[in-house]
């Protein structure tokens, strides 16, 4: 083990010499992955780390799922990449399959990343509406390129110069830290939404094109939009002739217990973007919209021509993902596993004063760490320490830290996670919180 530890340190030293650090806060995890399978990632020494983030919130089938391995092996030897104007059967098949899963959104564009799909969606919205102003949530994350970065407010705005002209934001409704409350002290999201659109109406110069939103703001602290919010948001967009773009990079393809998170509210957006979960860890994204919007965009010369648009290999992967999801009934599994995980987290909340809130849907849950439940005072340092201790114990957890909010753990294990793995993760989190909070107590 000493030799393995020395080898790992040598690899990390090489990384420090040659890699650009891109996370914006801190160095890479003290771990060099050698392989991954199911819910675990392993280093060269065989150390197993339980992956409660599904890679980058993407590997909903776990790592190295046999069906994905099989299709990649087949396609890379048969049909991997084509000229962007050329079609293949996997592309047509996946477009048809996605359109059938999202009634009303039958026109599909297949791309690679979430940022790219959001770029295409916002470019289409600007062309179709003739506007240029884009509104998002002040805790949002939509990507790190151009228009997507301009609509991202949770991080990464300082020091890069001005955002795109017409970028605006309103706060998302946070039931744990409400800005507007009813007489009973509960979140009054209707009044907050009205206030947000009053601000938009005062700021617009008459060029509103789109509102882009996540049904659950994951990087924003796992803020689940309340039931009824999305239909109300769509109505306000309709009143202003702007399109509603829903970014379901993390919430789509079964993670919340439904194929798409917006289905809970029985509404259909104008444009839906998918990524992350659609490729189950491989680079695949999609834009879905209505025939009417696509026709109007086509008539106006819509252009989004990229090197890997409509590539056959990732399209075949997407088809395999949808097949496995249906065959193994993984959306239903997300409901059952999510309930088990939530109960376990709520039990930890009863024992640990630093757990202020447990929230989310299905297998996308958030745990907010605070100084104490009474004050709800943010405690980002405590959250960071718990995250480090979790990793030492063999549990990979991701924590987001935002102003006026405690550190929030985003917990998103694969939909294939077992009950035993959930219980093991809860046990390691329990131990990590106990170790950190015990060490911080005086005496």
311 is catalytic: no
Q: How far apart are CA 107 and CA 104, in angstroms?
A: 9
Instruction: Identify the active-site residue in 116, 126, 139, 141.
Output: 141
47 is catalytic: no
Instruction: Identify the active-site residue in 276, 359, 361, 389.
Output: 276
Task: Please say whether the beta carbons of 314 and 112 come within 8 A.
Answer: yes
The pairing of strands 133-137 and 107-111 is: unpaired
The DSSP H or E segment spanning 202 is helix 189-203
Q: How far apart are CA 65 and CA 59, in angstroms?
A: 9
Q: How far apart are CA 140 and CA 220, in angstroms?
A: 6
214 is catalytic: yes
Q: How far apart are CA 443 and CA 439, in angstroms?
A: 9
Q: How far apart are CA 192 and CA 33, in angstroms?
A: 45
Task: Please say whether the beta carbons of 193 and 229 come within 8 A.
Answer: yes
The pairing of strands 167-170 and 133-137 is: parallel
Q: Where are the beta strands (DSSP E) in 72-173?
A: 107-111, 133-137, 167-170
Instruction: Identify the active-site residue in 43, 224, 250, 333.
Output: 250
Instruction: Identify the active-site residue in 188, 224, 247, 270.
Output: 247
Give long-range contacts, CB 8 A cutoff, 24+ apart: 258-262.
Answer: 258/331, 258/362, 259/101, 259/102, 259/331, 260/101, 260/102, 261/215, 261/216, 261/361, 262/215, 262/230
410 is catalytic: yes
Task: Please say whether the beta carbons of 400 and 217 come within 8 A.
Answer: no
The DSSP 8-state label assigned to residue 267 in this structure reads -
141 is catalytic: yes
56 is catalytic: no
Q: Would you state the structure tokens that stand for residue 438, as one six-digit string?
A: 């015990």
Task: Please say whether the beta carbons of 161 and 137 come within 8 A.
Answer: no
Residue 366: strand pairing partners: 359, 410
Residues 6+ apart with CB under 8 A from 366: 221, 222, 223, 357, 358, 359, 360, 408, 409, 410, 411
Instruction: Identify the active-site residue in 116, 214, 224, 421.
Output: 214
Report, in this order, helix, strand and coil percent for the chain, each rounded to 5: 40, 20, 40
Among 146, 135, 126, 147, CA closest to 301: 126
Alpha-carbon distances, residue 169 vs 36, 174, 200, 250, 330 (angstroms): 39, 15, 8, 21, 35
Catalytically annotated residues: 141, 214, 247, 250, 276, 410
């Amino acid at each position: 083990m000493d030799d393995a530890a020395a080898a790992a340190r040598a690899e990390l030293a090489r990384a420090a010499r040659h890699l650009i650090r891109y996370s914006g806060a801190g160095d890479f995890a003290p771990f060099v992955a050698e392989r991954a399978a199911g819910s675990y990632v392993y280093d060269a020494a065989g150390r197993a780390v339980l992956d409660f983030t599904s890679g980058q919130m993407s590997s909903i089938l776990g790592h190295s799922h046999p069906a994905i391995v099989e299709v990649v092996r087949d396609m890379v030897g048969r049909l991997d990449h084509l000229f962007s104007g050329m079609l293949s059967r996997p592309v047509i098949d996946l477009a048809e399959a996605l359109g059938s899963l999202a009634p009303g959104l039958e026109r599909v564009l297949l791309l690679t990343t979430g940022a790219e799909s959001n770029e295409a969606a916002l470019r289409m919205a600007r062309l179709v509406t003739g506007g240029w102003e884009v509104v998002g949530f002040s805790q949002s994350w939509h990507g790190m390129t151009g228009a997507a970065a301009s609509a991202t407010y949770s991080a990464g705005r300082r020091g890069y110069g001005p955002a795109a002209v017409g970028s605006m934001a309103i706060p998302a409704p946070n039931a744990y830290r409400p800005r507007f409350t009813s007489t009973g002290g509960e979140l009054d999201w209707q009044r907050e939404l009205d206030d947000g659109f009053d601000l938009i109406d005062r700021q617009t110069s008459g060029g509103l094109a789109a509102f882009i939103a996540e049904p659950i703001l994951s990087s924003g602290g796992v803020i689940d939009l309340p039931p009824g919010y999305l239909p109300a948001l769509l109505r306000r967009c309709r009143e202003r002739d702007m399109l509603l773009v829903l970014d379901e990079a993390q919430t789509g393809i079964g993670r919340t217990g439904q194929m798409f998170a917006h289905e809970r509210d029985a509404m259909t957006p104008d444009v839906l973007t998918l990524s992350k979960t659609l490729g189950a860890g491989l680079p695949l994204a999609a834009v879905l919209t209505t025939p009417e919007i696509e026709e109007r965009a086509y008539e106006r010369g819509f252009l989004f021509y990229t090197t890997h648009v409509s590539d056959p290999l990732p399209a075949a992967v997407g088809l395999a993902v949808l097949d496995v999801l249906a065959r193994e009934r993984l959306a239903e599994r997300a409901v059952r596993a999510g309930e088990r995980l939530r109960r376990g987290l709520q039990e930890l909340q009863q024992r640990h004063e630093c757990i202020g809130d447990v929230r989310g849907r299905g297998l996308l849950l958030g745990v907010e760490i605070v100084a104490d439940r009474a004050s709800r005072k943010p405690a980002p340092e405590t959250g960071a320490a718990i995250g480090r201790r979790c990793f030492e114990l063999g549990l990979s957890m991701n924590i987001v830290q935002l102003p006026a909010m405690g550190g929030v753990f985003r917990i998103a294990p694969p939909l294939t996670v077992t009950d035993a793995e959930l219980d093991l993760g809860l046990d390691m989190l329990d131990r990590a919180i106990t170790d950190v909070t015990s060490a911080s107590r005086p005496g």
